């Protein structure tokens, strides 16, 4: 256990020392924030106020602002739960390039020690930075007057963040385990960092995309994670808008702003979203273990064949 914690601590320190890597890990949430401040926030708020005015509902500026702010923060936090673990996986690729991974394989350390240490360090990096983003999100809501959260919502959001980081950790450690060069990892980082905001509805609601794209995004665990964040971040503001207008208007907003994902014509409730995220974590953790076992057996067979040839 001491060796595991020491290696995980070593991996985490390497990641946190690279300030540029931390910046790029948080680049997607920063883009979400910038787009919202520059034009998306005003467009959404004006559109909602016009829709309410058409129903003779006025004086809902604070509720509308809280709803829009909560949507933006949900997108920023959900994207951080993906991009931060991805960048933290870079230590795995660096160790392969420098030959450290081969040294660990040749050492008397157990075969499971290295992958387990990477998994722990990636999870720790995700929790550290995502907790910072979460804290800043709560401060934003409090200072802007958009606070509509209950104590239960705050704890639920922290639980969703923890689950999302672990699910992203399992998926990305499994995928990056097949990458052997830093160039390929950089390409993956750039591509995923660019499209993840669109795929999970962080830049704009998924309802604006074609139906086929909505069906595709419903197959991505990160979209379900973002849906959970939206439900807990936005539920209080949505209830306030429902009290000012009508439950039907609030339900239409929930659909338009992707609080319910469209899975081939079926609305996905929050409980199902949580099950998908948890299931993906278990699935990819199991696949990572299986890949490690198969790789270990393949090396054993190769070693036995070489020894047989020498004999």
Do the Cβ atoms of 62 and 89 come closer than 8 Å? no
Residues whose CB is less than 8 angstroms from the CB of residue 58 and which lie 6 or more positions away in sequence, other chains included: 52
Q: What DSSP string runs through 193-223?
A: HHHHHHHTTSSS-GGGS-HHHHHHHTTSHHH
> Does residue 310 sit within a domain?
no
- Beta-bridge partner residues of 261: 268
* pTM of structure: 0.92
Residue 300's pLDDT band, with cuts at 50, 70 and 90, is low
Q: Which of 43, 70, 52 is nearest to 248 (CA)?
A: 52
Phi/psi at 263 (5° precision):
-105, 90
In a domain, 309, yes or no: no
- What would the pLDDT profile of 178-199 be if each residue is shown by its tens digit? 888 888 998 888 888 888 999 9
Domains in the chain, number: 1
The answer to whether residue 287 is domain-embedded is yes
Which structural domain range is residue 109 located in?
Answer: 2-295
For residue 307, tell me if it sits in a domain.
no
The phi, psi pair for 266, rounded to 5°, reads -110, 130
Whether 81 is covered by a domain: the verdict is yes
Q: Is residue 126 part of a domain?
A: yes
Q: What is the pLDDT of residues 19-74, one digit of tens each?
A: 888 998 998 899 999 989 888 899 899 999 998 988 888 888 999 999 999 999 99
Residue 68 resides in a domain? yes
């Amino acid at each position: 256990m001491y060796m595991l914690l020491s290696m995980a601590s070593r991996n985490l320190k390497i990641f946190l020392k690279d300030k540029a890597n931390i910046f790029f890990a948080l680049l997607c949430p920063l883009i979400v924030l910038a787009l919202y401040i520059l034009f998306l926030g005003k467009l959404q708020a004006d559109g909602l106020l016009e829709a309410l005015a058409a129903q003779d509902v006025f004086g809902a500026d604070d509720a509308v602002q809280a709803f829009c702010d909560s949507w933006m923060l949900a997108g920023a936090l959900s994207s951080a739960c993906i991009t931060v673990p991805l960048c933290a996986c870079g230590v795995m690729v660096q160790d392969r390039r420098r030959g450290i991974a081969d040294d660990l394989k040749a050492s008397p350390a157990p075969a499971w020690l290295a992958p387990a240490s990477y998994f722990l360090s990636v999870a720790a990096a995700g929790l550290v930075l995502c907790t910072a983003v979460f804290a800043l999100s709560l401060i934003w809501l409090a200072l802007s007057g958009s606070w509509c959260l209950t104590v239960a919502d705050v704890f639920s959001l922290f639980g969703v963040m923890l689950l999302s980081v672990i699910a992203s950790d399992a998926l990305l450690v499994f995928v990056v385990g097949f990458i052997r060069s830093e160039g390929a990892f950089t390409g993956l980082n750039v591509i995923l960092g660019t499209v993840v905001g669109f795929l999970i509805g962080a830049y704009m609601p998924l309802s604006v995309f074609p139906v086929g794209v909505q069906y595709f995004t419903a197959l991505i665990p990160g979209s379900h994670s973002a849906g959970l964040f939206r439900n807990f971040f936005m539920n209080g503001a949505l209830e306030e808008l429902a009290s000012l207008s009508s439950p039907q208007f609030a339900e239409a907003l929930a659909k338009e702003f992707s609080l319910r994902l469209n899975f081939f014509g079926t609305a996905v409730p929050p409980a199902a979203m949580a099950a998908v995220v948890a299931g993906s974590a278990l699935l990819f953790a199991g696949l990572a273990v299986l890949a490690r076992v198969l790789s270990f057996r393949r090396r054993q067979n190769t070693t036995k064949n070489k020894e047989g040839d020498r004999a």
